[in-house]
Structure 1
Amino acid sequence: MEAVRNAHLVLPDQVVSGSLAFSDGVIASVDGGASTVGEDFEGDFLLPGLIELHTDHLETHYNPRANLRWNADAAVMAHDAQMAGSGVTTVFDALRVGMDYDAHLGRDDMEVLAQAVEAGARAGRLRADHFIHLRCEVSADDCLEGFDALAHHPLIRMASLMDHAPGQRQFAKIESYRAYYVEKLRMSEEVFRLYCERRVAESERNSAKNRVAIAERAVAKGIVLASHDDATAAHVREAEGQGVRVAEFPTTREAAHLSREAGMAVLMGAPNLVRGSSHSGNVSARELAGVNELDILSSDYVPYSILQSVFLLPEVVVGVSLAESVRMATSNPARAVGLEDRGALAGGLRADFVRVGVQGGLPVVRGVWREGRRVA
């Protein structure tokens, strides 16, 4: 039996000073009050290990420069170390399905990365527990073919349905789309116009049929479905009818509210919350938290942001406690994807936890344990 003591334990409904004991990878007990047994945490916070459902960061380690492929096993390890170092003990690595104009990677690369994640986990090289999340660009011509090529993979637990064509969803305002893509891809206005026409045509040709086909396949395989960038009541009704359980990054307050009413968990990006606004001009995560319509936080494209947002949220939104914000990064995502063995500091659950100090207003990871073994 091992133990830690003198910690501020962030429990599901409160923060208490006390100790935690664990054995064989499982939490044995959580106790309030003073103790003389175990490692002294010196009053630091003890959180459940964070659970990340949608990070796009793995691809950037594998493809750090245009036309460059890093060793896939090494890329997975670099990504894993960054996630664990940010307090994440369970991570869903997002791999794209459906290649669009600006994709530097292809379907073969996604298969290589999926195999590298599995190999790293099997060999015990990885600090966090890894699953795979398929980001399905349903407007792409090869989306369904790409999904079928990867759907057999044993680590796939989640798939999201997305369409980034201009004029709807994330980029309902063409000005935001222009600012994003003209700057990112350095397009001229004429090239941008032709690009938009192509993306809209692809969406009209593929999106509806691919949504239906992938939703049917995912439900049959037990893969948790997520919608992506829903903006309207029609989008939410479509997602509900297709068996979606998680509403990722709804772009309007209406879509978030209706998704919640339909029984979906609402997921928003932690970078949105930290910045105070969406980079695309869509609804603010802080606004949704203020009306109790935010369930899950995801680091998205900044791994550290999920931990940062957990401590920032109670400061910037009245009525949100630290225990509540921690649930958004632990027990809520665990429930959304059916991981009942983790997500809280409670007896019988996995001994996944994070020691966090606060310095200069920022949370600092001082130790990470996965199934009772220190990994960072």
Structure 2
Amino acid sequence: MYLITNGRIVLENEILIGYDLAIKGDIIKKIFKKGEFNLNSEYEIIDANGGYIVPGFIDIHSDYIEHMAAPRPTTLMDFELSIREAEKQLISHGITTMFHSLSLYKSSEFGNNPIRNPENVCKFIDLIDESHASKHLIRHRFHARFEIDNLEQVDNLKNYINDDKVHLVSIMDHTPGQGQYKNLEIYRETLKGYNNLTDIEIDEIIENSQRKDKMTIDMIREIGHLANEKGIAFASHDDDSIEKLDLVQSFGANISEFPITLEVAKEAKNRGMFTIAGAPNILLGGSHSGNLSAAAAIQHDSIDILCSDYYPAALLHSIFKLHEEYGHDLSQMFKLITINPAKAVNMDDEIGSIKENKKADILIIEKIEDHYPAITSIFVDGKLTLKTNYRV
């Protein structure tokens, strides 16, 4: 039982000052004006030191676990060790619910990643599933990122969904000439950054990629409908045209991950889809692939969700950058990494906002310097899981 006092409580549409928050068991018991709650000695007082009291972050797209398990192309760490060490890092960045975005690729032109071998993906899926009933720091969920040329794994994906081991599905197509790599010159430069290739070799890679056999429309539609029947969110990836939005919505997609242009992002949101951009895009000042600027899209109210993508620290710092440098309302910006992703993946009844009787996933964020926010206390399911004390 905890009482958090002397902080600014960030609700969905306002920030409360002069209020306290009581946690009992795993839920938020009460929000009340300071001094009005009849406390007993069982409550431990947590001083927020004037900081922000916010919901735990919900990250629905991140391949960070792949980097933890395979820090080098030829190095493979123990998978259980990787998950346990990854969650220690993730919780320190305020991420209390993580959708591990494991990729089901057939092959990649950007080098071999052993984590993406089918047997290794399967091991990780089982470990994520087992984590729900074992000791853990954060909520682990599985985001199945499925590349449409991976025909051999379609049945396995269906089995994972039917076995209730999948919590989000996204269908991806990284064929050069469309989507993320619509600009072939950027694709060429990206390939050269991974491999020492000649222009002729890159031309062959592009031609071979464009000729690969891929899932049919009916096959993708079947996956989408299966996910919808199970109540699992279904996402498209790298939408680059209005026509593609028409197509993915016919599959049952409710999320548009990384729309390529502002026009597409606006239209996806107008259609009621949740739109996602990467938080690193905010910190870097634009897309590393030369596509949509997340900050510009947020200025046009066309992005609903920020994800860490590959850099967990970006969630916290992108929110404060949007507030301090772009002038956005802070409570509205926090929704990008709390209640909005919770709604997109059907978890908003329990987590994603500070409300009485919701799960007590709560962070305290203090400014240790004028422009440096730091997370100093973290609660998950009402447990004080991590506390950090900065020293002078």
User: Higher mean Cα deviation, 140-149 or 275-284?
Assistant: 140-149
RMSD, matched Cα: 1.8
Code of the aligned partner of 1:47: V
What aligned pairs does 1:184-203 form with structure 2 within 5 A after superposition? 184-202=194-212
Match of 1:272 in 2: 281
Give, in whole Å, the separation in 1 of the partners of 2:103 and 2:46. Answer: 42
Question: Which residue among 104, 116, 120 is the counterpart of 1:109?
Answer: 120
1:219 shift after superposition: 2.2
Deviations 1:245-298 (A, max 9, x none): 111110111111111111101111000111110000111111111111111110
Asked if 2 retains the 8 angstrom alpha-carbon contact of 1:5 and 1:35, the reply is: no
SS in 1 for 2:341: helix
Question: Which residue among 340, 345, 348 is the counterpart of 1:337?
Answer: 345
Give, in whole Å, the separation in 2 of the partners of 1:292 and 1:372. Answer: 33
SS in 1 for 2:227: helix
Structure 1 stretches of 5 or more lacking a match? none
Give, in whole Å, the separation in 1 of the partners of 2:341 and 2:309. Answer: 14
Question: Which residue among 152, 157, 164 is the counterpart of 1:142?
Answer: 152
TM-score (norm 1): 0.94
Match of 1:44 in 2: 51
Match of 2:382 in 1: 372
Match of 1:120 in 2: 131
Give, in whole Å, the separation in 1 of the partners of 2:194 and 2:368. Answer: 35
Code of the aligned partner of 1:140: N
Match of 1:282 in 2: 291
Give, in whole Å, the separation in 1 of the partners of 2:112 and 2:131. Answer: 25
What aligned pairs does 1:1-376 form with structure 2 within 5 A after superposition? 1-17=1-17, 18-33=19-34, 38-101=45-108, 102-105=111-114, 106-124=117-135, 126-202=136-212, 205-206=214-215, 208-318=217-327, 320-339=328-347, 340-360=349-369, 361-376=371-386
User: Higher mean Cα deviation, 92-101 or 17-26?
Assistant: 92-101
Asked if 2 retains the 8 angstrom alpha-carbon contact of 1:59 and 1:95, the reply is: yes
Asked if 1 retains the 8 angstrom alpha-carbon contact of 2:49 and 2:366, the reply is: no
Identity of aligned residues (%): 25
Code of the aligned partner of 2:242: A
**Residues 166 and 323 from structure 1, CA distance in 2 versus in 1: closer, same or farther, beyond 3 angstroms?**
same
Give, in whole Å, the separation in 2 of the partners of 1:220 and 1:103. Answer: 34
Deviations 1:143-189 (A, max 9, x none): 41442353344341100011011000111100111111221233332
**Residues 228 and 149 from structure 1, CA distance in 2 versus in 1: closer, same or farther, beyond 3 angstroms?**
same
Give, in whole Å, the separation in 2 of the partners of 1:314 and 1:329. Answer: 14
Asked if 2 retains the 8 angstrom alpha-carbon contact of 1:289 and 1:317, the reply is: no
Asked if 1 retains the 8 angstrom alpha-carbon contact of 2:73 and 2:112, the reply is: no
**Residues 299 and 100 from structure 1, CA distance in 2 versus in 1: closer, same or farther, beyond 3 angstroms?**
same
Structure 2 stretches of 5 or more lacking a match? 40-44, 387-392
Give, in whole Å, the separation in 2 of the partners of 1:68 and 1:149. Answer: 29
Number of corresponding residues: 373
**Residues 140 and 194 from structure 1, CA distance in 2 versus in 1: closer, same or farther, beyond 3 angstroms?**
farther
Give, in whole Å, the separation in 2 of the partners of 1:218 and 1:4. Answer: 39
User: Higher mean Cα deviation, 189-198 or 265-274?
Assistant: 189-198
1:210 shift after superposition: 4.3
SS in 1 for 2:245: helix
Code of the aligned partner of 1:98: Y
1:68 shift after superposition: 2.2
User: Higher mean Cα deviation, 289-298 or 140-149?
Assistant: 140-149
Code of the aligned partner of 2:132: A
Give, in whole Å, the separation in 2 of the partners of 1:143 and 1:274. Answer: 36
Code of the aligned partner of 1:147: L
1:51 shift after superposition: 0.6
Give, in whole Å, the separation in 1 of the partners of 2:321 and 2:34. Answer: 27
Asked if 2 retains the 8 angstrom alpha-carbon contact of 1:5 and 1:34, the reply is: no
Give, in whole Å, the separation in 2 of the partners of 1:354 and 1:155. Answer: 28
User: Higher mean Cα deviation, 35-44 or 62-71?
Assistant: 35-44
**Residues 34 and 184 from structure 1, CA distance in 2 versus in 1: closer, same or farther, beyond 3 angstroms?**
farther
**Residues 103 and 261 from structure 1, CA distance in 2 versus in 1: closer, same or farther, beyond 3 angstroms?**
farther
Code of the aligned partner of 1:107: P
Deviations 1:34-61 (A, max 9, x none): 6796221111111100111011111111
Asked if 2 retains the 8 angstrom alpha-carbon contact of 1:160 and 1:227, the reply is: yes
